[in-house]
Amino acid sequence: MSEITSFVCPASWKITTLGQICKETGGSIQTGPFGSQLHASDYVEDGIPSVMPKNISIEKILDDDIARVSVDDVNRLSKHKLQMGDIVYSRRGDVEKCVLVSEKEDGWLCGTGCIKVRIGPVGDISAKYIHAFLSHPEVRRWISQHAVGATMPNLNTSILSSVPVYLPPKELQSFIANSWFGFNQKLLVNAGINNTLENIAQAIFKSWFVDFEPTKAKIAAREALLAENPAATPEKIATAEQQAAIQAIAGAGDIIPTEQLQTIADLFPGQLVPSELGEIPEGWRVDKVENVITRLKPKQRYTKKQVEPHGNVPVFEQGAGVLLGYQNGTAGFKASPERPMFIFGDHTCVTHLSCEPFDISANVIPIEGCDFPTLWVYQAVKDLQKFQEYRRHWSEFIIKQLVTPAAELAEVYSKLATDFVKMKESNVSESSVLIQVRDSLLPKLLSGELEFN
């Protein structure tokens, strides 16, 4: 057994392997169904969720856009059904991450491309502790180093069976598991708050710059007034239009200060005019992405071997998780709330906004706005290019068309969105500290720096 060299095992702890634990407890390590057992045509719109590699995160199973299969297929593949307490790995790609199955996911299917680890009922070994141990950066590093494959890391049941596991006494297992769970719950709360903030920013952007609701409200108010009173004065028409636009803008809730509503309402045109993208507010125009962005030049691109689990400067990759790791040197891109930047994954079309200094890895393109505020540009372009297959998309992305408003209105949106971004960045910073504290718990207990009483 190849031990984890950075860990020192106290005398009261036991060194074993994941495979031995599964064997002694009556558990198993089971590869998910292969493609020949579950075809693309077997997936359904309404059914039982099937956990794929893209659904795996350390804190929870990501069920947005999760694949689903029929009850009959789940029963046919019953040995791949998940139980609460199972641990699921990806078999290829990002093989170092694993997720613990909660009560919510009990009965779901371990999908193709995954491996299911089940700690059995015999003995006093906590599945929560095993998940906490396997999720530690040093254990994840061990798994990455032992994965096979020249171009893409691959995991199998043999490699997972040989993962060394350090088992403390039962009481300490519970303490570590509960501490880990508590940290993860707080991380999920922060992520939920940030998701809400992002949704608010997107909803306002869509209302103003996609659905043109304030402009349409002005048109509807004018038409209703003239239908009732064809002789209405221009002043009455202007007042009706303004009040209607204010109501449309205020629909975002108490986000926008009352004293700003009238000023913002006056910035929206009162007419829609034809364009190649359909009707748009009068005075706005159709443009291309390449005319509203500036591609920034990196001085260095980092690889997985050059980053650490914790550090000062985040390094972004083009995968869905975005964060490759950290480096402790000088940041290549000095992003800030006053000068935000964002990235575009050339092969994946993943986008991510940053208001803190960062660096990048291969195939990541750093961008900021040109002639329009970056926060406005980010919302305008982030979903324009759809992923088609794993290839370069930049040349298609930059010729996508979009509707651009008056620069003054884009600036108003940017100032509003900056407040959301600052709140998000505060939560991100707090989460970074929580992760460092969480990940330091196990090594400190192993080294004796912390004692459990």
pLDDT score at 152: 82
**In what helix (H) or strand (E) does residue 51 lie, and over which residues does it extend?**
strand 43-51
Same domain flag for 244 and 296: no
Residue 105 lies in a domain: yes
Residue 112 lies in a domain: yes
Residue 8 lies in a domain: no
pLDDT score at 440: 86
Same domain flag for 308 and 233: no
pLDDT score at 254: 65
Long-range contacts: 333-338, Cβ < 8 Å, 24+?
A: 333/296, 333/298, 333/357, 333/358, 333/359, 333/360, 333/366, 337/418, 337/421, 337/422, 337/425
pLDDT score at 253: 57
Same domain flag for 226 and 306: no
Same domain flag for 294 and 264: no
Look-up of token digits 């940053």? 354
User: CA angle, corner 353, sides to 347 and 356, nearest 5?
Assistant: 125
Same domain flag for 39 and 78: yes
The boundaries of the domain holding residue 250 are: 213-270
Residue 41 lies in a domain: yes
Mean pLDDT of each 10-residue bin along the chain, 453 residues long: 74 92 96 88 92 90 90 94 96 90 96 95 92 91 89 91 93 90 92 91 94 96 95 94 92 74 94 96 97 96 90 90 91 94 94 95 97 97 87 94 96 92 89 88 78 71
The domain boundary, picked from 224, 242, 270, lies at: 270
Number of domains comprising the chain: 3
Q: Across the chain, what does the average pLDDT equal?
A: 92
**CA dist., res. 221 & res. 215, Å (int):** 10
Residue 368 lies in a domain: yes
Same domain flag for 149 and 99: yes
**Residue 353 CB partners (closer than 8 Å, separation 6+):** 340, 341, 342, 375, 378, 421
Longest dimension (CA), the chain: 93
CATH code where residue 60 lies: 3.90.220.20
**CA dist., res. 119 & res. 99, Å (int):** 14
Distances from the Cα of 256 to the Cα of 198, 207, 249, 373, angstroms: 15, 14, 8, 19
Same domain flag for 21 and 139: yes
Same domain flag for 121 and 255: no
pLDDT score at 444: 82
Same domain flag for 256 and 147: no
**CA dist., res. 390 & res. 113, Å (int):** 17
Same domain flag for 229 and 302: no
H helix runs in 206-268, sequence order: 213-228, 234-250, 258-266
Q: Comparing C-alpha atoms, which of 381, 414, 392 is closest to residue 348? A: 392
pLDDT in tens, 329-386: 999 999 998 999 999 999 989 999 999 999 999 999 999 999 999 999 999 999 999 8
Residue 49 lies in a domain: yes
The domain boundary, picked from 237, 270, 303, lies at: 270
Residue 22 lies in a domain: yes
Residue 401 lies in a domain: yes
Helix (H, G, I), strand (E, B) or coil at 360: strand
CB 249 within 8 A of CB 267: no
Other beta carbons within 10 angstroms of residue 79's beta carbon come to 10
Same domain flag for 233 and 364: no
The domain boundary, picked from 151, 168, 185, lies at: 168
**CA dist., res. 129 & res. 13, Å (int):** 13
| pTM of this structure | 0.77
Same domain flag for 52 and 158: yes
